[in-house]
Amino acid sequence: MSDGTIFAPEGSGIRPFADTIGWLWRVPVTDSPSGRSVGIGTIEDGVELEALVASRQLAGAAVFGSRPGPDQGRVPGRQRLAGTARFGPGLATQGDFTVLHGPGRAVAESSFGAHALRDGSWLTLGFDPVASWGTLQHFWALRPLADFLAELLQRPMAMLPPLGMVRYDDVPGTAEQQLKGETKSDAHVRRRLRRILGAYRRAGAVINVAVACRALDGDREVPLESIWPGSLEMLREGIAEGYVEQVCHGYLHLDRDRSGPDEIEPREFARLDRPEAHRRIEAALEWGTSILGARPRTFIAPNWGYSSGSLEALGEIGLPAWLPFRFGPLVDGPNARETLVSTVNGIHDLDYAPLAALAAAGLPPYVTIHGGLMDARFDGLRGLRHAGALARLALRRDLVRLPGVPGIRWVGSGELMERLRAHDRVEVAGAEIRSPDGVEVSAHGAPVAAP
Ligand SMILES: [Zn+2]
């Protein structure tokens, strides 16, 4: 075990975030303070943390807050601003921001002002990490927090290497989309795939495709290749050459018992009992093996609808599933959690560098894309000011641009799942990182003498 810990006051709203960061950087989280702990908390915890730091019961403290207000003890005054914050070339994000006014050195700053202030053993960060997890606009916060913890705890933060994962969902089409009249022809999907897959092949990246194995022909369930044969052939080629990986996305992507003229229920696995889930997952794996040429290594249920029977069946089969993000360890039994919430709010125009900043801080962006654009993209681009970005995205979508982002290695879901599970067993003793099976770990912040 490591001898530096993160202290989160009992009952603090910051605890869920502390548990996630502690897992990502391999620092135990505790609710008993010690001189070998750095406290983290919300503005409400500021008074308690200040007293603990003053009496040397904590080595230091980091306080998070987005709410505007005047100075409160060591917590500096805060002002809210909305718009586009520019952190450097290619590093702009948009949304609501908190600017800090107080003593200390700015360790994160944009065109709006200082977002993080360091004052000796005190760090203030102007955002609420529990409310804002997964939005890109606060990408700047992780680095100063990691620097601060490494310095005060005199130990490295043991991070995942800079990885990311792109998942393109519902390719080449699903029964749900068929019922909604949203599917595209095989020729159309092939043209789209040619452009997308080529970008990943050329960049040496992997694109993950969530594919179910049956579609509808009128009322009949038919194998997917009877509707989209050419598209599946392209996926098969990409899988054989290593730049495409299938994520098993179920059997039909539809709960037929709960779908009718007025309602379409895509959550195929939300109510299945164990034997039926087992049958469908096995059939989907066999289909992937024979039609796409490789057995999928991970599973994602349509719309994250997992019944307990479905999770049991996955466990029996030994197929790990992706669960929606939740604070705490990203490994959950045999499964793992996605690292972000599903939308990537805060992205500005075509500035993808914040994704690389998250990856560099040991948080691999897990980006899910449906129609070529990141979710909630149009909300962010609305208005004339972003007409240029819209025009450029019409030519080349996010999905095609992402593999070119420097600083991220985009991996297959099987690899990411394995790395998360190995990371769960990484420990830090003194300044030494102990990694099981020799798995790669990035050491952030060499231990230096405390100030
Ligand atoms: Zn889907």
Q: DSSP string of 426-451?
A: -EEETTEEE-GGG---EEES------
- List all residues 6 or more positions away from 359 whose beta carbon is below 8 Å from its beta carbon: 162, 163, 164, 365, 407, 408
25 within some domain: yes
How far away, in angstroms, is 60 Cα from ligand 1 center? 45
Please say whether the beta carbons of 288 and 296 come within 8 A.
yes
Cα(388)–Cα(390) distance, integer angstroms = 5
Domain identity same for 369 and 295: yes
pLDDT digits (tens, 9 = 90+) for 412-436: 999 999 999 999 999 998 888 998 8
In the chain, the number of structural domains is 2
Mean pLDDT of the chain: 94
259 within some domain: yes
37 within some domain: yes
- pLDDT at residue 446, as a whole number: 62
Instruction: Tell me the pairing of strands 122-125 and 60-64.
Output: parallel
How far away, in angstroms, is 284 Cα from ligand 1 center? 14
Q: Which pair of structure tokens corresponds to residue 357?
A: 């900043």
Domain identity same for 196 and 177: yes
How far away, in angstroms, is 330 Cα from ligand 1 center? 22
CA 342, chain centre distance (Å)? 8
Whether the pLDDT of residue 292 is over 90: the answer is yes
How far away, in angstroms, is 47 Cα from ligand 1 center? 47
How far away, in angstroms, is 171 Cα from ligand 1 center? 8
How far away, in angstroms, is 250 Cα from ligand 1 center? 9
- pLDDT at residue 341, as a whole number: 80
Cα(37)–Cα(60) distance, integer angstroms = 7
Residue of 30, 68, 70, 58 lying closest to 123 (CA atoms): 58
pLDDT digits (tens, 9 = 90+) for 339-387: 998 677 888 989 999 999 999 999 999 999 988 888 777 777 776 577 7
CA 319, chain centre distance (Å)? 20
How far away, in angstroms, is 182 Cα from ligand 1 center? 13
Domain identity same for 129 and 179: no
How far away, in angstroms, is 213 Cα from ligand 1 center? 12
In degrees and rounded to multiples of 5, residue 262 shows phi and psi of -100, -15
How far away, in angstroms, is 203 Cα from ligand 1 center? 26
Q: Please, which residues bridge with residue 69 across strands?
A: 78
447 within some domain: no
How far away, in angstroms, is 101 Cα from ligand 1 center? 46
250 within some domain: yes
How far away, in angstroms, is 363 Cα from ligand 1 center? 24
SS3 of residue 268 by DSSP: coil
How far away, in angstroms, is 381 Cα from ligand 1 center? 25
How far away, in angstroms, is 254 Cα from ligand 1 center? 9
- List CB-based neighbours of ion ligand 1 within 5 Å: 169-170, 302
Boundary (domain end) residue, out of 98, 127, 153 = 153
Domain identity same for 353 and 235: yes
- List all residues 6 or more positions away from 188 whose beta carbon is below 8 Å from its beta carbon: none
How far away, in angstroms, is 249 Cα from ligand 1 center? 7
- pLDDT at residue 1, as a whole number: 44
How far away, in angstroms, is 199 Cα from ligand 1 center? 23
Across the range 164-168, mean pLDDT stands at 97
- pLDDT at residue 383, as a whole number: 61
Domain identity same for 136 and 186: no
How far away, in angstroms, is 424 Cα from ligand 1 center? 28
How far away, in angstroms, is 175 Cα from ligand 1 center? 10
336 within some domain: yes
pLDDT digits (tens, 9 = 90+) for 218-258: 999 999 999 999 999 999 999 999 999 999 999 999 999 99
pTM of the model: 0.95
Burial class (CB in 10 A: 0-12, 13-18, 19+), 385: exposed
- pLDDT at residue 90, as a whole number: 84
How far away, in angstroms, is 234 Cα from ligand 1 center? 19
Domain identity same for 143 and 261: no
Domain identity same for 285 and 395: yes
Domain identity same for 132 and 237: no
Domain identity same for 97 and 169: no
What domain range is 64 assigned to?
A: 5-153
Domain identity same for 127 and 236: no
Angle of CA points 87, 91, 93, to nearest 5°: 85
How far away, in angstroms, is 374 Cα from ligand 1 center? 15
Residue of 44, 36, 54, 38 lying closest to 13 (CA atoms): 44
Cα(141)–Cα(107) distance, integer angstroms = 9
How far away, in angstroms, is 154 Cα from ligand 1 center? 45
How far away, in angstroms, is 248 Cα from ligand 1 center? 10
Cα(215)–Cα(173) distance, integer angstroms = 8
How far away, in angstroms, is 428 Cα from ligand 1 center? 39
203 within some domain: yes
Domain identity same for 147 and 222: no
Q: Is the dihedral of CA 280, 286, 292, 296 positive or negative?
A: positive
How far away, in angstroms, is 170 Cα from ligand 1 center? 5
Boundary (domain end) residue, out of 126, 153, 180 = 153
Instruction: Tell me the pairing of strands 442-444 and 157-159.
Output: antiparallel
Whether the pLDDT of residue 122 is over 90: the answer is yes
How far away, in angstroms, is 301 Cα from ligand 1 center? 7
How far away, in angstroms, is 197 Cα from ligand 1 center? 19
Q: Which residue has the tokens 């060591």?
A: 74
Boundary (domain end) residue, out of 153, 175, 210 = 153
- CATH number, domain containing residue 351: 3.20.20.370
Whether the pLDDT of residue 447 is over 80: the answer is no
Domain identity same for 173 and 127: no
How far away, in angstroms, is 183 Cα from ligand 1 center? 13
Please say whether the beta carbons of 186 and 227 come within 8 A.
yes
Please, where are the H alpha helices in 124-209?
129-132, 142-153, 175-180, 186-203
437 within some domain: no
Whether the pLDDT of residue 451 is over 50: the answer is no
